[in-house]
Amino acid sequence: MTIQKVIVITAIISLIVCINCSDDHSISNPPIKQTPFYQLSPDSVNIAILLMDFQTYEFEGGSFSHYPLCVNCDLESLPFVATFGGWDMHPLLFLYPPENDTIFFAYSVWMGTGRIHIPNEFASPESFPPTQFSQDKPQSSEYFNYWGQSSPDTLAETDTVWTAIQNLDIVNEFAKKTYRVGFYLYRPTEGVFDPNPAKWIVFLYRRN
């Protein structure tokens, strides 16, 4: 056998071995776990606001904020102060004491369509990854009516709302300690109810 043939055969064998190694022992980099933008603080009040379509219950995004601890706030319910007023344009505000921070502000318009002003933007649904764990809706959850008045939540509709978000990572993070939940149906239109622009608002609240 000539030296040239030996070289060719050796090269072929080396190529086959490399291909087999590549196929059988391929190495891929593990996915990088992104840190969520919502980081609950033990020294603050943590409030998340989640937005959902009224008709489809599709989760559309949310916001997250920290606020100073409220020493004198009621611990047995959501300490929000809601105001509702106006004529042709009805402003609705949810305030959080002790400094009356506005956590939610929207208009409902007669013969028109209002919009949400605060939060001024919502992070996309992709910013709130799901998990394999689901949280039951807290028995202490509250429902805010059209005028922002609170009462114990007994609506079947809010069960459906909760089912759509109960496995989100942010819900599981809030549920690691005592937290509270509030539901509000935002109607941007006045007069005949128009379900198309209506939104379900879910408040998540935790003191530490």
| 114-127 per-position pLDDT tens digit | 999 999 999 999 99
Mean local confidence (pLDDT), 171-195: 94
pLDDT at 11: 40
106 and 140 in contact (C-beta within 8 Å)? no
- Please state, for a pLDDT cut of 70, what percent of the chain lies above it: 82
What's the rounded mean pLDDT across residues 26-32?
40
pLDDT digits (tens, 9 = 90+) for 56-66: 999 999 999 99
* 45, two tokens: 């009040």
Answer whether 0.75 is exceeded by the pTM. Answer: yes
Q: What is the mean pLDDT of residues 49-71?
A: 95
pLDDT at 76: 85
Each residue's pLDDT tens digit, 88-114: 778 899 999 989 999 999 999 988 899
Q: Residue 23 above 70 pLDDT?
A: no
| The pLDDT of residue 142 is above 90 | yes
At residue 87 the predicted structure's pLDDT band, cuts being 50, 70 and 90, is low
pLDDT recorded at residue 88: 72
Residue 71: what pLDDT? 84
Residue 13 clears pLDDT 70, i.e. is over it: no
